[in-house]
Amino acid sequence: MPRGKGGLEVFVITISRQTASLGDEIAVEIADKLGVKLITRNYVIDNWLPEIADEHDLHMLRETSKYYLKTAQNGETFKEYIIKRLKKEAEKQSLVILGLGSQVIFKDYAHAVHIKVICSDNRRVNRIMKKYNINKEQAVRTLDLSDRKHRRYVHRLFDKDWENISLYHMSINTDGLEISEAANLIIHLLEMKKENPQPLFKKYDEIKEEKINIEDIDFVHESEKDFAEILDMYNIKWEYEPSEFPLEWDAEGNIALGFRPDFYLPEFDTFIELTTMKQKYVTEKNKKVKLLQELYPDVSINIVYKKDYHKLLKRFGVDELREDKDDNDE
């Protein structure tokens, strides 16, 4: 996950919705539940656009999507300005964005989840009738106009069909779903995507396997592979044997003894050394670790001893213990 201000991980949830589909309410619920900022068209018009728009501009921006393609006082189009501000905001903090073509703006963003909220016409019409106290015919017309506006905005500004479901990770039909249920579904999806972030859209030549595949790494011991799998289980980033620390030098200054800890956990700036072999080797390794701590007091290293390691494997349900294999190592 990218990190925003204060080193916190940031993400974006975009919500595109049919009018009266409860998309607005779901966006509010998610933002509240996750404690993140909600950005809506009104927010943008009230808070961002006055910096580059006069009263007439603001009026037109409320009325017509065509106006977003006009050049503002600062030389950018309103559309470009909104995209720039949204992306900048998303670098600083997590966001829930309602509409604004955000599903297209963040389509290449690995830490974004794109949701479309829909609902049957009957229910939407009923909601509109109740909300505005109008008759069915008027409600149908209101919905039609509103949906058309949504569609036109995305088409005009981004040349995309708003209805195209491949623009979204998930499409939610709120018929028979409570707001909180829909919000929870989206939050669950977000949790899953946090563990496996990847953009919804990639250029054809960019589509390749990016994730480190444990099977591709030449682990010295099976126990190290098991440990890597436990780290993966917890979504903890790791590097295998990335650094070698010189510990002793000969008379000419050549490195006579070095030590390469098994794992480095970048999020914790900590090295992990597994000692799953026979006791005689452990003594030798302990000596190296002690030397490392003396020579590099700022380096954090944790040692996992054989007894603890096997308890760890057992607890994490790694089915096969590697005791016998590793006893002969090193």
Partner 1 sequence: MMNKKNIGEVIYSEEDIKKRIRGIANSINRDFKDKEPLLVGILKGSIYFLSDLSRLLDIDHNIDFLSVGRFQTTEGPREKVKITKDLDLSIRNRDIIVVEDIIRTGLTHSYILKNLEPRRPKSINLCVFLDCKDQRLVDLPIKYSGFDMDDRFVIGYGLDYKEKYRNLTFVAEFEE
Residues that bind partner 1 (CB under 8 A): 1, 8-11, 32-36, 93-94, 184, 187, 191-192, 194-195, 229-236, 265, 267-268, 270, 272, 300, 302, 304, 307-308, 311-312, 315, 317
* Beta carbon of residue 210, minimum distance to partner 1 (angstroms, whole number): 13
298: exposed, middle or buried (Cβ count in 10 Å: 0-12, 13-18, 19+): exposed
Between 76 and 232, CB nearer to partner 1: 232
* Beta carbon of residue 92, minimum distance to partner 1 (angstroms, whole number): 11
Between 58 and 177, CB nearer to partner 1: 177
**Angle at CA 211, nearest 5°, toward 205 and 215?**
120
**Rounded to an integer, what distance in angstroms lies between the CA atom of residue 111 and that of residue 192?**
11
- Residue closest to 275 by CA, chosen among 219, 214, 218, 329: 329
* Beta carbon of residue 231, minimum distance to partner 1 (angstroms, whole number): 8
Between 260 and 310, CB nearer to partner 1: 310
* Beta carbon of residue 276, minimum distance to partner 1 (angstroms, whole number): 14
* Beta carbon of residue 144, minimum distance to partner 1 (angstroms, whole number): 36
Between 56 and 211, CB nearer to partner 1: 211
Q: How far is CA 16 from the centre of its chain?
A: 18
* Beta carbon of residue 161, minimum distance to partner 1 (angstroms, whole number): 29
Between 204 and 234, CB nearer to partner 1: 234
Between 108 and 308, CB nearer to partner 1: 308
Between 61 and 304, CB nearer to partner 1: 304
* Beta carbon of residue 50, minimum distance to partner 1 (angstroms, whole number): 26
